[in-house]
Chain A
Amino acid sequence: MPGLTISEKILAKASGKERVSPGDIVDGSVDLLYMHEMLAMALMPFNEIGTMKVWDPDKIVVTLDHWVPPPTPEIAKMHQTIREFCKKQGIKRFHDVGDHGIIHQLIAERGYAHPWELVIGSDSHTNMVGAVGAFAAGIGATDTAAVMATGRLWLRVPETMRVDIHGKLGKCTGAKDVILKVIGTTGDDGARYAAVEFSGPTVRGFPMDERFVLCNMTTEMGAKVGMVAADATTKEYLAHSGHPFKAIDSDDDATFAKTHTFEIDGMGPQVACPSNPANLKPVEDVAGTKIDVAFLGSCTNARIEDLRIAAKLLRGEKVAPGVRFQITPASQIIYRQALKEGLVEIFMDAGATFTSSTCGPCFGGHMGTLAGDEVCISSTNRNYPGRMGSPTAQVYLASPWTVTASAIHGEITDPRKV
Chain B
Amino acid sequence: MQTRFKGRVWTFGDDISTDHIIAGKYLGTTDSKVFAEHAFEAVDPTWAKKVQPGDLIVAGDNFGCGSSREQAPVALKTLGISAILANSFARIFFRNAINLGFPVVECPGLKTGVKSGDIVELDMARGEVHLPGGPVMRFKPLPPNVLEILEAGGLVPKLRKELATKSAG
Chain A residues with a Cβ under 8 A of chain B: 25, 38, 40-41, 44-45, 48-51, 66-67, 71-72, 74-75, 78, 122-124, 138-143, 145-146, 149-150, 154, 156, 188-189, 192-193, 222, 224, 276, 363-366, 369, 382, 384-387, 389, 391
Asked whether A364 lies within 8 Å of B24 as measured between CB atoms, the reply is yes
Asked whether B70 lies within 8 Å of A49 as measured between CB atoms, the reply is no
Closest Cβ of chain B: how far from A398's Cβ, in Å?
19
How far apart sit A224 and B90, CA to CA, in the bound complex (Å)? 9
B61: A residues at CB distance < 8 A = 189
CB pairs A–B below 8 angstroms (19 shown): A45-B156, A49-B156, A67-B28, A124-B67, A140-B92, A141-B70, A142-B100, A146-B155, A156-B143, A188-B62, A193-B91, A222-B62, A276-B15, A363-B19, A363-B27, A365-B24, A386-B19, A386-B20, A391-B43
Asked whether B67 lies within 8 Å of A142 as measured between CB atoms, the reply is no
B156: A residues at CB distance < 8 A = 45, 48-49, 142, 145-146
How far apart sit A188 and B100, CA to CA, in the bound complex (Å)? 25
Using A143-B96, A384-B65, A386-B19 as known contacts, list a sample of 6 further A-B pairs with CB atoms less than 8 Å apart, ordered by residue number in A.
Answer: A40-B30, A50-B163, A51-B163, A139-B95, A140-B68, A386-B42
B29: A residues at CB distance < 8 A = 74, 78
Q: Which of B90, B159, B160 contacts A222 (CB 8 A)?
A: B90
Asked whether B155 lies within 8 Å of A143 as measured between CB atoms, the reply is yes
Asked whether A192 lies within 8 Å of B24 as measured between CB atoms, the reply is no
B163: A residues at CB distance < 8 A = 49-51, 149
B154: A residues at CB distance < 8 A = 142
Q: Is B23 an interface residue (CB 8 A)?
A: yes
For chain B, the bracket of interface size reads 35 or more
Asked whether A364 lies within 8 Å of B23 as measured between CB atoms, the reply is yes
Asked whether A222 lies within 8 Å of B96 as measured between CB atoms, the reply is no
Q: Which of B23, B96, B159 contacts A141 (CB 8 A)?
A: B96
How far apart sit A123 and B23, CA to CA, in the bound complex (Å)? 16
B50: A residues at CB distance < 8 A = none
Most buried by B among A48, A142, A150, A224: A142
Q: Is B78 an interface residue (CB 8 A)?
A: no
How far apart sit A152 and B41, CA to CA, in the bound complex (Å)? 36
B42: A residues at CB distance < 8 A = 385-386, 391
Q: Which residue of A lies closest to B162 (CB)?
A: A150
B15: A residues at CB distance < 8 A = 188-189, 276, 384
B152-169 CB mask vs A (1 if < 8 Å, else 0) is 001110011001000000
Q: Is B11 an interface residue (CB 8 A)?
A: no
Asked whether A44 lies within 8 Å of B30 as measured between CB atoms, the reply is yes
How far apart sit A131 and B73, CA to CA, in the bound complex (Å)? 29
Closest Cβ of chain B: how far from A373's Cβ, in Å?
14
Asked whether B68 lies within 8 Å of A189 as measured between CB atoms, the reply is no
Asked whether A142 lies within 8 Å of B96 as measured between CB atoms, the reply is yes
